[in-house]
Amino acid sequence: MRRQAKDFLHHGETAILVSEMQEGIFGEHAPLMAQRTNAMGTGVLPNLVAFLATAREIGGINIFHCTAERRADGFGDPLSSPLARMLAHKAGPGYGLETGTANAEPLAELYPRDSKNDYVMPRLLGMSPFYGTDLDYFLRHSGVKNLVITGTSLNVALLGTAIEATNIGYHVVLAKDCVICDPPEYAEQLIKYTVRHLCYISTSTEIIDCWKNQLAG
């Protein structure tokens, strides 16, 4: 029997990953303004705000804000990708995401500081959340087997997340109305020809309904 996203959304065994939704990426002076425009124009940001807020209301679902940070002096950064070189050229060696600055923090509307279920998981190197971080450790030791991935970008960080997560045994669900792709019209083809082979595809509404139905018995 063909499995569906709802088969891998067990309440208590599922966490939400929010990739790189940060002030330094979506703020007014972010170096990649196309990202900000896409987030606003496609409705992703309000969708994600509502999704996370409802998940907190349901309870029992941890939210991991996977942020990208860099040293202000750029020390140790090999600039091994064209994207890294472009960011360093536009925003300096810290990419405008220097550790300890407001730009490195998650967007305020996505990360209420008083939440007991939101955790920030920064990384200093690499292109996706598992590389060089303790994310896998904290997921496993909090009983997580399934991941809902959201944020930016479907082209790079989220694709890398899906590959890394499946490599180490997680089931991955993509909330397709809560992800940013550049350009936005590429998302449909990327999901159809690549992402669907790595993730189960769903929407934030379907995921929330699944959790509510589980808890209702």
Domain boundaries, the chain: 5-216
Quick check: 47 pLDDT over 80?
yes
Q: 91 pLDDT band (50/70/90 cuts)?
A: confident
33-41 and 44-58 helices, crossing angle to 10°: 70
Which of the listed CATH numbers 2.20.130.10, 3.20.20.80, 3.30.43.10, 3.40.50.850 matches domain 5-216?
3.40.50.850
Query: Which of 77-91, 108-122, 126-140 shows the lowest per-residue confidence on average (mean pLDDT)?
Result: 77-91
Quick check: 51 pLDDT over 80?
yes
Residue 24 near residue 97, CB atoms below 8 Å:
yes
Helix (H) or strand (E) holding 16: strand 14-19
- In this structure, the dihedral spanned by the alpha carbons of residues 79, 82, 85 and 90, taken in order and rounded to 10 degrees, is -160
Q: Which residues pair with 172 in a beta bridge?
A: 147
Q: 86 pLDDT band (50/70/90 cuts)?
A: confident
Residue 40 is predicted with a pLDDT of 66
Residue 193 is predicted with a pLDDT of 97
Quick check: 4 pLDDT over 80?
yes
- pLDDT digits over 155-177, tens only? 999 999 999 999 999 999 999 99
Q: What angle do CA 193, 49, 172 make, to 5 degrees?
A: 35
Q: Of 169, 144, 159, 4, whose CA–CA distance to 64 is shortest?
A: 144
- pLDDT digits over 99-130, tens only? 999 999 999 999 998 999 999 999 999 999 99
What is the spatial distance between Cα 91 and Cα 30, in angstroms, rounded to a whole number? 9
Residue 35 is predicted with a pLDDT of 65
Q: What percent of the chain has pLDDT over 70?
A: 93
Mean pLDDT of the chain: 92
Residue 167 is predicted with a pLDDT of 97
Quick check: 25 pLDDT over 90?
no
The amino acid at 189: Q
Mean pLDDT value across residues 94-98: 91
Q: What percent of the chain has pLDDT over 90?
A: 79
Backbone angles phi, psi at 100, to 5 degrees: 90, -5
What is the spatial distance between Cα 188 and Cα 93, in angstroms, rounded to a whole number? 33
